[in-house]
A and B are shown apart, each in its own frame.
Chain A
Amino acid sequence: MYEFFGKHPRLARIVDLLLPVIATLAALGVGAIMLQLLGANPVAAYRALLSGAFGNKNALADTIVRATPLLLVALGICIAFRAGVINIGGEGQLVAGAILGTLVGLWFPEAPGIVIVSLALVAGFIGGAIWGGIPGILKAYFNVNEILSTIMLNIIAVQGMNYLLRGPMIDPVQAQAASRIPQTARLAQAFDLPRLVPTRLHLGALIAVILAFVVYIFLWRTTAGYRIRAVGLNPDASRYAGINVKRNIVLALVLSGAFAGLAGAIQVFGVHHRMFTDGSLAGFTGSAGFNGIVAALFGKLNPLGAIPASFIFGALIVGANSLQRAMQVPAALITALNGLVVIFVVSSEIFSRRLNRSRQIGSDVATATSSSDSSLSSALSVEGDTSQ
């Protein structure tokens, strides 16, 4: 099979580009079998999924709204993973950003909307940066494994959120009521992020897409971005080249956290207009901090690739909800389906790499083949550095 593609490099290129789509379809195929086993008609189920995600203007807007935090988190993940830092703390960083942003909104209820919204988004950015910077400093200067510290900071952030929303930040109405639902007061109407069209679509989506391009330019067209990628590809070589590896690890995690924090603030001011918690890790965040990682991997750790990747995941989440309503299938099936898509997409990577290799050998640029392997020096790279 690979020999065949070796002889047809253009075909190989097309198959390579289509691989995520093929993998998604394959996962949906397995999902169809599961639906059949549950006694639901797979065709009708997927029709419900598609129309739920793209059926009309509102559905499409919902999909984009769901994709927005995924994209922002994924942008941060691209930076961190490119620096060789595995940031699993998106959830905690998102919560930290949301808390700081919400505080700004609650402190100045009378101030003009545009000032507060901009301030709150900056606050979210800073909150996430702080929560990302902690594991950065721990890793760079104390050799603490960042996977563990980010996971633990997730748990600590959620505990902190539960405390704040039950105590100091609780809605005064809820504080009087017997139920004491852990949520803040609704932020002033003036602070709602502007809607782009008369749907739930808000300005945050536009910000996220613009930032995707900014991050792309940062990583591949600036010296600072080059340093971050160099540290990720080969820390030792970077050190000999005079790059401050420790500082760049901290910088990557600060930026990574900042984007997750911004996602948190945007969720508050664009979607919920308040913070709330159900006590678990995935209450108010909607698991965006975890799903964003998956979207980033799906987008091959490329900020521009993250745009369609997040969109597809947003569509799956929104479509799955309407599938659940239409077909009475359990919600857990949907999450399992998402997991399957991810597994299939990530495993399709291997074919992608082999295709690339056969293509390169086929088109007599064999000299370049080994470089894509050596760039995998760090255990986490999902791909060779194709963008160079």
Chain B
Amino acid sequence: MDNAQLIAVLASIVLQASPLIIAVCGEILTERSGVVNLSLDGTMLMAAMLAFVVGMKTQNVWLGFAAAAAIGALFALIIAFGSIRLGQSQVAIGFVLTLLGDDLSAFLGQNYTRMRGVIVPHYGIPILKDIPVIGPIFFNHDIVVYFAMALIAVTWWWLNRTQPGLRLRGSGERPTAAFARGVDVNRQRYFYTILGGALVGIAGAAFSLNVKIGWSDGHIRGMGWVALAIVIFGGWSPIRGAFGALLFGATKALATVLQRAFPQVSVVAFNSLPWVLMILVLVAVGSDYTERFINAMPKSWRRPLRRVLRISPPMALGTPFHEG
């Protein structure tokens, strides 16, 4: 493989990762506020289908994105309402919505499978795209990919450097303390669940209009679960999450390359590779042995090592909050 090919592969990894990054950032906002939106797989399928159909009918790709964001927000609203107002299990509602989104997208989208729709226009950023190596990998894509990149930075900044971000984290970590400081915890959770859902919807649209163009039954089945796994792998941080999304894309690309290099090994081994790796990584970050390893290190190393190797979920994740 020569350099040009390598750059093309890396650029495609960035493109492939962009919808996952958007979904991961959305889910991070939701989960940091204390709500689990488990319906990602179904939501993204619904959004991908709807974005494709709306885009095709109106011949406007951005209306497709708007429709996808709306359906994502609607699914998230069901979860927020069911869990916050009705006190239902978030996991149960999310799981049922996953199945429903899968079935409903297959049903509503059956007349639109394998058709030509609209796609996001290519737009290379002037000047930046001409930087050697980095330019073609990162800056020679389209608006959606740039949106994903910007979203990583904005999400991180919002969570860690702003007042509203502090309220958001308070709602997910110590809701009672946040409440005592005057934060309307449940309103925060409503807001970020719906916002996160809208982003997940946009991620679905980014698949069907940009990355895996078109629609067929079960088009992107499984990607929602990948996004959920990456949120955990990324320790609920947008930067680590984006890294995880790129890593997932890289393992898939690696599997394709390896498959060509070792045609005698079964394709199954390579198809399973990203999943096995992901489990192994989750084992590594969760294991007690990692903690022992960190404690065996010099004192000044422990904090940065822990930040890289350990993850801990928002403390109030998945638990309902009752005022007073």
Contact = CB atoms under 8 A, between A and B. Distances in A.
A339 B103 CA distance: 7
B266 A167 contact: yes
A24 to B, nearest CB: 14
Interface in B208-237: 217-218, 221-222, 225, 228-229, 232
A64 B292 CA distance: 53
A63 interface: no
A190 interface: no
A350 B89 CA distance: 10
B278 to A, nearest CB: 6
B176 to A, nearest CB: 15
A240 interface: no
B276 interface: yes
A22 interface: no
B295 interface: no
Interface residues of B, number: 46
B171 interface: no
Interface of B: 36, 38, 82, 86-93, 95-97, 99-100, 102-104, 106-107, 110, 217-218, 221-222, 225, 228-229, 232, 266, 268, 271-272, 275-276, 278-279, 282-283, 286-288, 318-320
Given A159-B268, A379-B90, A382-B89, 20 more contacts: A138-B279, A138-B283, A141-B287, A142-B287, A144-B286, A147-B91, A147-B228, A148-B225, A148-B279, A156-B275, A160-B272, A281-B221, A294-B96, A330-B107, A330-B110, A339-B96, A339-B103, A343-B96, A346-B88, A353-B87
A141 B86 CA distance: 34
A151 B225 contact: yes
10 contacts: A138-B282, A152-B225, A163-B268, A332-B106, A336-B100, A346-B88, A347-B88, A350-B87, A376-B320, A382-B88
A65 B36 CA distance: 35
A209 interface: no
A263 interface: no
Nearest to B217: A332
B103 A338 contact: yes
Interface of A: 86, 88, 138, 141-145, 147-149, 151-153, 155-156, 159-160, 162-163, 167, 280-281, 290, 293-294, 297, 330, 332-333, 335-336, 338-340, 342-343, 346-347, 349-350, 353, 376-377, 379-382
A342 B287 CA distance: 37
B26 to A, nearest CB: 18
A138 B99 CA distance: 26
B186 to A, nearest CB: 15
A365 to B, nearest CB: 21
B283 A144 contact: yes
A320 to B, nearest CB: 11
B268 A144 contact: no
Contacts of A148: 225, 228-229, 232, 278-279, 282
Nearest to A330: B110
